[in-house]
Amino acid sequence: MSVSEKEVAHRAASDAELIAWVDRQDQLLGSLPRAELRERGLIGRGTYILLFNSAGELCVHRRTLSKAIYPGYWDVAAGGMVQADESYVESAARELEEELGVAGVELTAHEQFFFDQPDNRLWCAVFSAVWDGPLKLQPEEVIEARFIAVGQVLRETAEKPYCPDSLAALKRYLGNVANVP
């Protein structure tokens, strides 16, 4: 499977985006290009939107091969880096619309937590939403998407590569929300 020129151009533009740069207490320090944050091991902000349908199934999607981290991995959340001039909720709404074509839904905020792995240090804000309409995938970032039962998602994580940061968001959500679908 080859990486398209469009994906390569999207990756270059993405790496140049100014991202909120924060400290270990999530205090804003300024903004830096995404690639510089990653290369220097600095902390940014990220959003994770768990998208369910009304049957309680979770939308999972597979990332394109041009992604800087976790290329080709399955992801349990839409989302991404918070840009310099955005709040967490503004970023979540933008990312959900860009990646999956879902707009105008109510975003429920859950918790924020610190995720710390080499090349991926983030303050993470977790949101959830319900959507029964069609998905419109962003071809530069998403190869495929489907809604499946949460139990099946958790079983698949033993067999397929899933993004560890969004899995951490899902597991925290599952541990904190009563009557999870």
Residue 3 has pLDDT above 70, yes or no: no
pTM over 0.75: yes
Beta strands 78-81; 43-52: pairing state: antiparallel
- pLDDT higher for 181 or 25? 25
Beta strands 18-22; 43-52: pairing state: antiparallel
**Domain limits, the chain:** 5-176
pLDDT value at position 70? 95
Residues 43-64 have pLDDT tens digits of 999 999 999 999 999 999 999 9
Q: Which residues are annotated as a binding site?
A: 95, 99
Q: Which residues are annotated as a binding site for Mg(2+)?
A: 95, 99
Residues 103-153 have pLDDT tens digits of 999 999 999 999 999 889 999 999 999 999 999 999 999 999 999 999 999
179 pLDDT band (50/70/90 cuts)? very low
Q: CATH assignment of 5-176, given 3.90.79.10, 3.90.800.10, 3.40.50.1100, 1.10.3720.10? A: 3.90.79.10
H runs (alpha helix) in 17-163: 34-40, 88-100, 150-156
Query: Cα separation of 21 and 168, whole Å?
Result: 21
pLDDT value at position 181? 44
pLDDT value at position 180? 45
Residue 77 has pLDDT above 60, yes or no: yes
CA 64 to chain centre: 13
Residues 67-88: what's their mean pLDDT?
95
